[in-house]
Structures are given as structure tokens and as C-alpha cells.
Amino acid sequence: MASPPKYATLSTDQTQLILYIQFGAQPHIVYWGPALTNSTPEEIALLSERQWAFGGPNLDIQPSLSNEIATGLSGPPGIILDRDGLDWDALFTVEKVSQQNDHELKIQCRDTQAKISICYEISLCPEIDVFTVSTSLTNETEMPLRIDWCTALCLPLEQHFDHMRSFKGKWAYEFQHEDISTFRGSFVRENKSGRTGHDTFPALLAFNNTTNETNGLAAGFHLGWSGNSRLRVDHQADGRAFLQMGELFFPGEMVLAKGETYRTPPLYGAQSKNGFNSVSQKFHDHLNHKIMDGRILNRPRKVHYNTWEAVYFDHSEEKLIVLAEKAAEIGAERFVLDDGWFGGRRNDSKGLGDWWVSKDVYPNGLHRLASRVRDLNMEFGIWVEPEMVNPDSDLFREHPDWILEIKGTPQIPSRNQFVLDLTRQDVTEYLYEKICTIIKTYDVTYLKWDMNRDIHHPGSQGRAVTSAQTRAVYQLMRRMRDTFPRLEIESCSSGGARADYGVLQYTDRIWTSDSNDALDRQNIQRGASYFLPLNVMGAHVGPEKCHITGRRLSMALRAATAFFGHMGMELNLLEERQEDLAILKKSIALHKQHRNLLHTGQFFRQDGPESHNIIGVVSRDKTEAIYSCTKLTHHSTTLPGLCKFTGLNSDQRYRIKIIWPLSEISPTAPSILESAKLLDSGSVFSGEALMRHGIQLPLMMPESNLIYYLEAIKND
């Protein structure tokens, strides 16, 4: 009988992952990098041989997929578990490997003494080139097994990844990033907010000092999880570096009884020789084609009208109908009735949890509003915040015990609300029943599902339950979607605090940020684009004077910024100037004309100049492209530099034009606008010239924007 293979390989055209899977030994990663077409796993393993060094053990210690404590490796373990102080030293060796093809692998390992098994499920998507790893631990004995940490994988990072980009931010300024060069020791980001968090988007990019958006080595990692998380990269004294990502548990939070299994959230990873754009494109495709459930993949993303910044809690049927009429006239296709329609919710201190239509404000229910919305050819959507309750609500008065709490410790109210305990079935039944009734009664096809606070006291029956709560939220979303197969859900959490590939399995759109300030949004959306594609990125045109920053920005810039996302409006249309409404209407018509390209093409960010934010989308067949160039601030040179149009076909010729804004752009003339007839019929250039050389940018005012449209012309 042939001896079982020592190595397993997962490959795509671009990438290869080689694992050592010898039966009875600890599995480990031998290689993760560009596809090797002419080498064997054996030779790569041999080329990786290390030696012992003076002052240390007499042999070089091998890592494993979880770097258990018992491997003896110096860095932090990928698994921390015990049974009342015993079995902390579990060490897993391969018992069974299943591989049906070259993109899916299952490695089952076990510690036969401790009677704990672990199963690594690793796949490398053949068309998209993103790997997914999820790891499951099973307790096989009567004694409870406590898990304090279980990363999906300890992924070795090669030494050329000597820089890291991680994400930070705050409410209304999410998805900012920070670059650092690697250093000896541990880089750790922990999130214990009970949601993905405004400041801890669970992702990392690894790169080197020559990498930019279009060139150089880059790798991206993301944990598909909306609860507490930990991300760490450890550069060890032995010269090796490992990345770990997983759920962050509070003490005693994850305890397995006999036969129970814990499965980590999925860790996604991809790398490329072609810079950050290429990594983002792989992640975008993976999200759209492998993670989201596809219910709207081939349907146009409807333009929204959201009522929040228009009326806040000041609802009236008459006013909302007038706004709906105006919104439809301007081009909205979906009307989303935000917070304030239910119970006693006349401000943010009351009514949360009372999911029935407010009798004071809507004595006859929402029938008139919803049917007027539909008569206007819009869909009717509604806001909910299922996981929360105001102490001043009928729900809380009736069920004060339905909340998460740390017994004996006063609640920390946040936005005047407490968190419901979704690990209780009676709570989820209540929410399911009440919200489904609203959906059915008013034929709601869209839910904006909000979550407006961190969870400071995630206790239920004395135990920590953030993990169980997160899974219960997913389960409730899944159940509602199963009940209503047309239902779309937007994941909102005071803006972008629940934005990740975990929640996107059950939702269709992310509310990227509460800030509708177009200038801030340029940064926020650019940051989000590392992992989130434009089709899920909710982007609204807000009022002239931003309610959050107080900044006044032109309608042309506000519209152009929302144009590069899933576009919507969120402003009081009765208060804006007529000329601005005319601009808004034109921008929406233009967005509809180009949204298929925006939402299905390949996305690119351009490097510099720092004064500008240049992003674009090129269709898959490279026959058209749309690029946005926003001048954020002054540049230090008299004139700005060139704008390059990455992603075109160099053998193709393109007609290039400026399609936005519609009025004068450059404060001085003549300029490239006239010489290349950019505001007129446009000019034709080779894709090569537009990509490699680029076009001179015209002089623009700060806080203004241009949109270029490029269309391939038939080659003669």
C-alpha cells in the first residue's frame, strides 16, 4: 500500500499553498506565495531547512498550524485551552487528510491523550485566489474544555513583508489606516466592543517598502466576524513571523461540553505581486461571489432616499409623503423610513424595543405612506435596531430581565439604551415575530438593521456571551432572510461599526459611516475600499452644511462622492436650493447610467498626489472605465501632476471625456480641458498612453471633483 503523502498543495494560477501533513506529526505551512510551476514540495521543504543555534535547543523547533504551547516555539501560541488546569499542553498530530481537488483541504488532527481533536478546513478559491481557513476544536471527554484563544491559523509571514497597514478610526471617521514597519515583538489589535468596531476593522495588509497601489508585493487578511476579535503579528526572536486572527474571548466564555465543537470565524487571505489594488480586487470578488448570498448580485442597486438627516425623530405622514414625492422626482428608487416610526420613539431616550407602529404619529399605521411610496415606483424600507432596548419602553417595563448585564454592576447606558440578551430564545422569538409582522403588513423589502452601542457588559446568567450573542444576531438575520427571500438588509452600526465579511453573509449593504461630509467620505470610502467593494458601500448625499462636521460643500462634490458607492440621498429636499436639486437629479441619472460599471467592474485606487483622491472602475472586458478625481486640498506645486488610468487595455484606444461636473472646472484657461476637448467630444488616446503616461490634471479648486469616462473605440 502506498504511504500517505507528506505534503498537500493548494494552487491557483497565481498562488500556491504547500502544507506538511505527515501522519502522526504536527502539520505546518511550508510555503504560501506566488505559484511555483517547476518545483516540488519536497525541494521547497528542503530549501526551508533551518539549523539549531548556540544558546538554544539542540534542534530547530518546527511551527504547526496552531503553534500550540507544547510545540515549544518561543512566540505566542495560537491555541490556549485547558481542563481545569490540565490538558493545557495539548499537541495535535495529523490523523486524517481529505483532499478531493487542488483547492480544498481538510486536515484532521488529534491529541490522543487529551482527547481533543482539531480540524483545519482550508480552501483556496481557484478563480478568485483568496484562501479561507476555519478551524474547529472538539472536546471528546466528560470534562469541560475551556478555550481562551483559538486563531483560525498561525500563518507564517515571509520576511519580505516588512511593513503592515492596519485600520483605525472612530465614529463618523471609520476605515482610516496606519502604516508601520515591522519590529521585533508583537503587534496586537484587540476589539472588545461586541461589534466589529469603529476603530478596529479586523483586517491587515502586509507589504514591503516598494509596494504601492499598482506594484509590488502585498498581502491582505480579514477575519469574517462581527464580535470581539484579536489580530496579532509576532516577529519572533528566532527570525520567524506569524499572523493570528480570531475571536477574543472573555474568561470562561467558550467552554465545550463532551462532543461539542467550537469553530473559528473564517480568516480570509490573498496576496499579489501587483500591489494593493490587486489584493482588494480579489477580496471584492470573493465577497461578491463566494460570501454574500447572491440575492442582488445581478440586480441594480437601487438609489435610496433615507429619512434620517431630513427629519430625525420629527415624523409626520404628510411631511414624509411630500419628501417621498420629491425624492422620487429626483430619482430615488427606494424610500427608507429611518428611526422614529415606532412605539414612543419621539427621541432617542424612548421606545426602542417596542416594534409596533406609533399610534401618536401614524394613527392609521404606515399604510398610506407605504402605498404612496410604491405608487411613486419606489420600494419601501424601514429602520430597526433589534438588539437594543430603551429602559423607557414597554418592552423593558415588561421584561427588565431580558438584557445583557453583569450582575451587581450598574449598567453603562450608551445612547440611552441597553443591550437585549439574544442568547435567550424568548428574546429572539419576540424580535422575529414583531419585525416579521411589520415586514408582512407593509410589504417591506429592505431593513436597515442598526446597532448603536458597544456592549460593555456582555453577561448572561453570569457568563460572558459576546460570541453567542454575535452568532444569535447572525441566526436572526438568516431566519428573516429565509422567511422573506426578497428581503435585503443593510448592516449599520452608528455608521460603519458592523462592517465585515461575517455580517455580509446575511446582509447586502454596509452603512459606511454616519458622516455624510463628502470630504471626509472621500477618505472613509477609500479606506473601506481595501476590503469592501463599491456595490456594498452605502454612500449618501447629505445636506449642504454637514450635520456632523459643520462643513459646507458644493452639491457637485457631495453628489460625485456618493456616486462612487451604493448611492443615496439623506437630506431635507425641501430645504435645498433649486439649482442644487437640479444638480442632484442629474448626478442620480448619471449614476444609474453607469452603475453597472461601478458595481461590477474592477476597482482601482491611484497613488498620489496627496492633494487628490483618484479612484476608478474598469469594466471586466476593459471596454469602458470611469475615474473620479477629487481635489481634497491645496497642492504645494503650482499645478498638479498627471492622473494615470490603471487597468485599461494598452492595445486599445479610448475616447476620454469629463462627464462631471457639468459646469466650469478650471479657474484658468486654456488648459488640458480645451486642448483635449475633455468637456466636449473628448479625445482618443491609446490605453497605453493613458495608463503609463497619464493625463495632465487641470487646475481645480480644492474641494472639487471631476469624473472621467473612457470608452474603447473600435480599432481601425
Q: Given the complex with ligand DGJ, which of 332 and 614 has the nearer CB atom? A: 332
Q: Draw the binding track, 402-431, toward ligand DGJ (x: CB under 6 A; -: no contact).
A: ------------------------------
Please identify which residue in the block is written with the cell numbers 488529534: 110
Q: Does 308 bind ligand DGJ (CB under 6 A)?
A: yes
Active site residue: 111, 285, 421, 450, which one? 450
| Residue of 333, 436, 315 whose CA lies nearest to 379 | 333
DSSP string, 253-291: SEEE-TT-EEEPPPEEEEEESBHHHHHHHHHHHHIIIII
User: Does 580 sit near ligand DGJ (CB under 6 A)?
Assistant: no
Q: Alpha-carbon distance 519 to 553, whole Å? A: 8
The residue whose Cβ lies closest to ligand DGJ is 339
129 or 339: CB nearest ligand DGJ: 339
Stretch that binds ligand DGJ, among 277-285, 492-500, 591-599, 692-700 (CB under 6 A): 492-500
Q: Does 339 bind ligand DGJ (CB under 6 A)?
A: yes
Does the N-terminal peptide bond of residue 609 adopt cis geometry, omega within 30 degrees of 0? Answer: yes
- Max intra-chain CA distance, the chain: 83
Q: Which of residues 254 and 504 has its CB atom nearest to ligand DGJ in the complex?
A: 504
DSSP 3-state of 392: strand
As a whole number of angstroms, the distance between CA 337 and CA 354 comes to: 16
Query: Under the criterion CB under 6 A, does residue 492 sit at the interface with ligand DGJ?
Result: yes
Residue 343, CB-side half-sphere exposure with 13 Å CA sphere = 23
Position among 131, 242, 446, 511 found at the interface with ligand DGJ (CB under 6 A):
511
Q: Which of 450, 500, 508, 580 binds ligand DGJ (CB under 6 A)?
A: 450
514 catalytic? Reply is: yes
Between 196 and 244, CB nearer to ligand DGJ: 196
Kindly determine how many residues on this chain lie close enough to bind ligand DGJ according to the rule CB under 6 A: 11
Q: Which of 12, 494, 535, 611 binds ligand DGJ (CB under 6 A)?
A: 494
Does 452 engage in binding with ligand DGJ (CB under 6 A)?
A: yes
E-assigned strand segments in 566-703: 566-569, 602-605, 612-618, 624-631, 642-643, 653-660, 683-686, 695-696
Task: Give the angle 179-183-188 at the CA atoms, nearest 5°.
Answer: 70
Q: Is 393 in the site for ligand DGJ (CB under 6 A)?
A: no
- Reduced to 3 states (helix: H, G, I; strand: E, B; else coil), residue 247 is strand
Amino acid 161 reads: F
Instruction: Please tell me whether residue 571 binds ligand DGJ under the rule CB under 6 A.
Output: no
| Residue 293 appears among annotated catalytic residues | no
* Helix 555-563 with 518-528: angle, nearest 10 deg: 10
The answer to whether 446 contacts ligand DGJ (rule: CB under 6 A) is no
From the CB of 228, what's the least distance to ligand DGJ, in Å?
21
Residue 131 or 446: which CB sits closer to ligand DGJ? 446
Min separation Cβ 645 and ligand DGJ, Å: 34
Task: Establish if 495 lies at the interface with ligand DGJ (CB under 6 A).
Answer: yes
Rounded CA-CA distance 671/664 in Å is 12
Residue in 514, 517, 520, 580 annotated catalytic:
514
Q: 498: closest CA among 227, 168, 170?
A: 227
Q: Which is nearer to ligand DGJ, 458 or 495 (CB)?
A: 495
| DSSP-derived secondary structure for 654-689 | EEEEEEE-SS---SSSSSHHHHTTTTTT-EEEEHHI
Query: Among 22, 158, 166, 15, which residue's Cα sits nearest to residue 97?
Result: 22
Q: Which of 213, 514, 517, 520 binds ligand DGJ (CB under 6 A)?
A: 514
Listed in sequence order, the residues at least 6 apart from 617 whose beta carbon sits closer than 8 Å to its beta carbon are 534, 564, 597, 598, 601, 602, 603, 604, 625, 626, 627
Exactly one of 338, 405, 488, 580 binds ligand DGJ (CB under 6 A); which one?
338
Residue span binding ligand DGJ (CB under 6 A) among the ranges 142-150, 255-263, 276-284, 489-497: 489-497
Residues in contact with ligand DGJ by CB under 6 A are: 308, 338-339, 383, 450, 452, 492, 494-495, 511, 514
What residues act catalytically?
450, 514
